[in-house]
Homo-oligomer: A and B are copies of this chain.
Amino acid sequence: MRSRPLKVALLGCGVVGSEVARIMTTHADDLAARIGAPVELAGVAVRRPDKVRGGVPAELITTDATALVKRGDIDVVVEVIGGIEPARSLITTAFEHGASVVSANKALLAQDGATLYAAADQHGQDLYYEAAVAGAIPLIRPLRESLAGDKINRVMGIVNGTTNFILDKMDTSGAGYSEALDEATALGYAEADPTADVEGFDAAAKAAILAGIAFHTRVRLDDVYREGMTEVTAADFASAKQMGCTIKLLAICERAADGGSVTARVHPAMIPLSHPLASVREAYNAVFVEAEAAGRLMFYGPGAGGSPTASAVLGDLVAVCRNRLNEATGPGESAYTRLPVSPMGEVVTRYHISLDVADKPGVLAQVATVFAEHGVSIDTVRQQGRQDGDGEASLVVVTHRAPDAALSGTVEALRKLDTVRGVASIMRVEGE
C-alpha cells in the first residue's frame, strides 16, 4: 500500500456532502485498503463557513471553492454543490489543475455533460457520476461497463422518489394528488417547492443522462419530452385498476425499431400490475433495462437520501483513486453512434383515452371512424352510461401501438366532434 495519501477536495457539505465526509472519516481504513492508498480530506468548500458541521475539522472549511480546486495538490474533486454555476466552472477548473472529478449533479450533466466530458478528456482526467441517477442504485456503471458488450434497446425507470411516493399513496389510499403531495411534504419526501419533481424536470435530467449512456450518443435535457404528474387524478387510478394496471411516472429511453434514432421522454403511464416496476413502492427507484443479449434486467433501491447518495459517490471515489494509482482513466464519454434524438411525435406506444360523450346511438361509430382515419387502431372500447342519466356517457378507448403524432391528431379531431363533450384523460400504456 502506498503511504502518501490521495487528496480529496469536497465541494459542498449539505445532505450528501456531510455524509461523504462522515464515511471518509469513519471508514478511512476500509477505503485505504480498497484503493491501495489512504485518502485524505484536504478541504471542504461551503457557502456558510460558520455552520457547525459535525465531524468536519473547522480548519478544512473554506468558502473559496475556486482556490481549493486550484491548489494543485488535489487528486480528486467531489462536487456535491448542485446546480449549474458555480459547479460547472469548478469542475472544469479542477480538470485544468490536474484533478479528476466525482459529481452527483444530474442537472449539470444533463444540460452540459458534453462540455464536462470534453474538459476531462482534454486534461486526461476522470469524470464519474454514479450518484446523479437513481442515488445508491448502481446503474451508470452497469450500463457503461457491464453492458458494454451488449446492445441496449430500452431503459425504462422510476427515477424520482418524490413522485413515486405520491403516486403510490394515491394508488393505495385513493387520495387525490394534492392530498398525497401534502403527505409527501409532511414526511420530508417532497421539497417546499416540489416543481422540479412533480413537473418531471428531475426525471428528465436523468432520462437524458441514461439515454446518452445506453445508446452511446449525446442526449441533452432539451431533447427529452416531459410531462409532469400533477394532472393524474383518482379517476385515472380507478381506470388503471380496471385494466389491471397502476400509474407510475416513467423515464423511458428507446432505440427506434429501425435502429436509426432514439427517443427519451418522461410522463405518467399505466403499467400492468405484473410488470416488475409496478411493485416499486414509496420513494424507491427502479430501472428496467432491455438489452439484446442480456434480456430484461432490473435495478432497484433507494433513489435519494444523504447516505445512499454518498455510497454512490464513494464507490466512484474509490474507482477514480484506483485509476489514478494505475495512471489510467476509466471510460470517458462514448457518443460514437451519433444517433439523432427523434421528437415525441415519432414515439410509438399504446394509449388509454377517456371521453365524455353524448349518450346516444352512433357515437361509438363516429369516434371509431376518427381513430381509423388517423391510422390509430383500437384494441378495446368500454362504454358506460352515467348514473345521473343526463344524456352523457363515458367511453374508454385503449389503442394498439401507434405513433404519438397520430394519437395527437386523433384527439384533436375528437375534440371537434359535437358528440364528444370532453376528453377527460389521455394516458400512455407501457410495459407490455
Contact = CB atoms under 8 A, between A and B. Distances in A.
Interface of A: 19, 23, 27, 30-31, 33-34, 130, 136-138, 141-142, 145-151, 216, 276, 279, 291-302, 305, 307-308, 310-319, 322-323, 326-329, 331, 334, 336-337
Nearest to A329: B326
A315 B27 contact: no
Nearest to A102: B149
Contacts of A279: 276, 279
What 9 A-B pairs have minimum CB-CB distances, sorted nearest first? A149-B314, A138-B146, A326-B328, A136-B294, A297-B301, A138-B142, A293-B311, A328-B328, A294-B311
Given A30-B151, A142-B146, A300-B300, 6 more contacts: A141-B142, A146-B312, A292-B307, A294-B311, A296-B302, A327-B328
Contacts of A311: 147, 149-150, 291, 293-294
Contact of A319 (B34, B145, B302, B312): B145
Contacts of A327: 328
Please indicate which of the listed interface residues A130, A148, A292, A293 has the most CB atoms of chain B within 10 Å of its own CB.
Answer: A293
Given A148-B34, A299-B299, A23 B216 contact: no
A334 B216 CA distance: 32
A295 B291 contact: no
B318 A149 contact: yes
B297 A314 contact: no
A308 B294 contact: yes
Given A148-B318, A149-B31, A312-B146, A295 B302 contact: yes
Given A31-B149, A141-B141, A291-B311, A297 B328 contact: no
Contacts of A147: 138, 311, 315
7 contacts: A33-B216, A33-B336, A149-B315, A279-B279, A298-B301, A326-B328, A326-B329
A33 B336 CA distance: 7
A38 to B, nearest CB: 14
A319 B138 contact: no
A334 B33 CA distance: 8
Contacts of A141: 138, 141-142, 145-146
A23 B302 contact: no
A263 to B, nearest CB: 20
Contacts of A329: 326
A146 B296 CA distance: 21
A216 B318 CA distance: 15
Contacts of A326: 326, 328-329
B150 A315 contact: yes
B323 A328 contact: yes
A300 B286 CA distance: 10
Contacts of A305: 295
